[in-house]
């Protein structure tokens, strides 16, 4: 249950209500919303207490969310939330483009790609240092050295960086190297130990949708992050497994307007992992923004055929430029703006 | 005019305004003397196959260019 209190409710009244609920054995969580006090109540509220709540003057609205999705629920904020990744605001009416190599493949290569994606107008640099590969014989990434190279490249061109963390034991390295946004990949979306550890890190988190996860399961993973103290969460749709074999996955754009209704958390789309085919990524990126995505994430390589991972879905810089140009137009005509 | 047509016109007008303003935002960081600021009117007219008169298109973009000078970045 979510209790949206009346505007201007005195802090003493909020505390009194909170104590009343806690005295009934319920856990109470408070939204950071400043405009209005909002409380989430975890657990089953007894009918007698629920009836009392309906009569209390300070309770303006009682919202019953789906299941136990509380902190991610739309009712927990007055406006959709905005996540600040190194000065780049994600959500709140601005559209961003995240781009970079699938894997960090060396200092010079990542720096060159960083320069190109910056020139093309991308806002964040992505790059994998710890790679979750299906085959144990595939390139696994450069690990900590890759993080260092990515961050150095980002700093050299003035772009915040995002990289995937696979194991909680690597968290100190991500923090030490100043990775601006921690990505939790599709395969780890329900790695609850990792979610809890990352939630405590006080860094923005990009949470990819599991390849066989429902939207509700995905939001529960985000709820773990919020419950653990992380308020800076970005969801990332990246396609789900279906019977369709023509593409690597099926991009689920239906989820975008639904998430807008259900949650305040910003959502971006990774059309590259959904498609797995470079040439069909630009139209999917356009569709994503038109459907309301707060941004898109794509993979860029100077020589895609030589990429050490996901070569088939890597874009050339000129293709990225087309996506940024399209994003600018689509953001404008859908009442938003491309991030400066 | 039907209400539906009027509705569609208003939507298009809002989109045109949003795009003109987005063009202005992009230009705000470009030097006033940069020749790339100017709309490529000739190129657009060559591609144009629609109903709107060519002279009108030229005038619209000339007006956009003229007013764009007011928010040009003051540098060389």
In this complex, is the C-beta atom of A158 within 8 Å of any C-beta atom belonging to chain B? Answer: no
Instruction: State whether B19 and A335 contact (CB < 8 Å).
Output: no
Say how far apart CA A10 and CA A12 lie, in whole Å.
5
Domain B3-75 in this protein, CATH class:
mainly alpha
The ipTM, to two decimals, is 0.86
Give the integer Cα–Cα distance in Å for A88 and A96: 8
* Three-class DSSP category at A243: coil
Cα–Cα distance measured from residue A67 to residue A84, given in angstroms and rounded to the nearest whole number: 29
- Backbone φ and ψ for B13, nearest 5 degrees, come out as -60, -40
Q: pTM of the full predicted structure?
A: 0.91
| Cβ contact B22–A335 (<8 Å) | no
Q: Å from B20 to nearest chain A CA?
A: 9
Helix A215-227 and helix A192-199, axial crossing angle in degrees, nearest 10: 40
pLDDT > 70 fraction of chain A, expressed in percent and rounded: 100
Name the band, by pLDDT with cuts 50, 70 and 90, for residue B76: very low
Q: Which residue has the higher pLDDT, A327 or B49?
A: A327
Cβ atoms of B61 and B37 within 8 Å: the answer is no
Average pLDDT on A282-301 reads: 96
Which residue does chain A place closest to B13, by CA atoms?
A333
**A338 contacts in B (CB within 8 Å)?**
22
Give the Cα-Cα-Cα angle A252, A255, A258 (nearest 5 degrees): 165
Q: Residue A257: is its pLDDT beyond 90?
A: yes
Contact B18 A332 (CB under 8 A): yes
List CB contacts of A41: < 8 A, sequence separation 6 or more: A1, A2, A3, A21, A26, A27, A28, A29, A70
Lookup: tokens for A62? 């009682």
Alpha-carbon distance of B26 to B68, in angstroms, equals 11
pLDDT at residue B74, rounded to an integer: 58
Whole-number pLDDT of residue A37: 95
Strand partners, A161: A125
d(CA B22, CA A114): 25
In order, the DSSP letters of A7-72 are TT--HHHHHHHHHHHHHTT-EEEE---SSS-EEEEESPPPHHHHHHHHH-TTEEEEE--STT--TT
The closest of A69, A68, A126, A70 to A97, measured between CA atoms, is A126
The region that residue B23 occupies, defined by phi over 0 for left and psi between -120 and 50 for alpha, beta otherwise, is: alpha
Among A64-78, A186-200, B25-39, the range scoring the smallest mean pLDDT is B25-39
H-type alpha helices, chain A: 11-23, 47-55, 107-120, 144-157, 171-176, 192-199, 215-227, 255-262, 271-275, 281-290, 317-333
Q: Which residues pair with A263 in a beta bridge?
A: A73
Indicate the burial class of A48 (C-beta count within 10 angstroms; 0-12, 13-18, 19 or more). exposed
Digit-coded pLDDT (tens) for A51-107: 999 999 999 999 998 889 999 999 999 999 999 999 999 999 999 999 999 889 889
Nearest CA of chain A to the CA of B9: how many Å? 14
Instruction: Calculate mean pLDDT across residues A176-201.
Output: 96
Does the structure show a pLDDT above 60 at B75? no
pLDDT(B21) > 80: yes
The token pair that represents A221 in the structure block: 């993973």
Please judge whether A338 and B18 are an interchain contact, meaning their C-beta atoms are less than 8 angstroms apart.
Answer: no
Size of the A and B interface in Cβ pairs below 8 Å: 18
Q: What is the distance between the alpha carbons of residues A13 and A19, in angstroms, rounded to a whole number?
A: 10
| CB-based burial label for B6 (10 Å; 0-12, 13-18, 19+) | exposed
Digit-coded pLDDT (tens) for A197-241: 999 998 999 999 999 999 999 999 999 999 999 999 999 999 999
CB A171, CB A198: distance < 8 Å: yes
Q: What is the pLDDT of residue B73?
A: 63
The fraction of chain A above a pLDDT of 90, given in percent, is 84
Q: Is the pLDDT confidence value at A308 over 80?
A: no
Domain boundaries defined on chain B: 3-75
């Amino acid at each position: 249950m979510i209790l949206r209190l009346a505007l201007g409710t005195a802090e003493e009244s909020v505390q009194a209500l909170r104590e009343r609920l806690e005295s009934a054995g319920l856990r109470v969580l408070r939204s950071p919303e400043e405009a209005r006090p909002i409380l989430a109540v975890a657990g089953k509220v007894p009918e007698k207490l629920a009836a009392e709540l309906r009569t209390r003057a300070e309770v303006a609205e009682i919202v019953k969310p789906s299941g136990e999705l509380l902190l991610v629920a739309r009712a927990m904020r007055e406006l959709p939330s905005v996540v600040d990744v190194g000065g780049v605001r994600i959500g709140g009416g601005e559209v961003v483009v995240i781009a970079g190599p699938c894997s960090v493949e060396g200092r010079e290569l990542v720096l060159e790609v960083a320069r190109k994606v910056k020139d093309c107008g991308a806002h964040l640099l992505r790059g994998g240092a710890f790679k979750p590969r299906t085959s144990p014989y595939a390139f696994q990434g450069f690990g900590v050295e890759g993080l260092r190279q990515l961050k150095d490249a980002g700093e050299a061109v003035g772009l915040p960086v995002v990289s995937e963390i696979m194991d909680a034991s690597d968290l100190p390295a991500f923090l030490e190297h100043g990775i601006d946004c921690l990505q939790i990949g599709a395969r780890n979306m329900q790695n609850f130990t990792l979610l809890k550890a990352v939630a405590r890190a006080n860094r923005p988190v990009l949470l990819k949708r599991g390849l066989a996860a429902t939207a509700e399961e995905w939001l529960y993973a985000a709820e773990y992050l919020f419950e653990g103290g992380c308020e800076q969460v970005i969801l990332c749709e990246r396609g789900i497994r279906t019977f369709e074999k023509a593409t690597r996955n099926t991009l689920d754009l239906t989820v975008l307007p639904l998430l807008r209704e259900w949650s305040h958390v910003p959502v971006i789309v990774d059309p590259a992992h959904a498609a797995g085919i470079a040439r069909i990524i630009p139209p999917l990126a356009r569709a994503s923004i038109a459907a309301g995505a707060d941004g898109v994430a794509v993979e860029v390589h100077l020589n895609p055929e030589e990429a050490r991972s996901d070569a088939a879905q890597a874009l050339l810089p000129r293709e990225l430029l087309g996506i940024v140009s399209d994003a600018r137009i689509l953001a404008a005509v859908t009442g938003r703006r491309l991030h400066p | 005019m039907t209400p539906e047509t009027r509705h569609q016109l208003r939507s298009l007008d809002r989109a045109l305004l949003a795009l003109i303003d987005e063009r202005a935002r992009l230009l705000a960081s470009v030097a006033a003397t940069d020749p790339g600021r100017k709309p490529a009117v000739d190129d657009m007219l060559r591609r144009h196959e629609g109903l709107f008169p060519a002279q009108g298109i030229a005038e619209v973009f000339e007006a956009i260019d003229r007013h764009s000078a007011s928010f040009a970045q003051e540098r060389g």
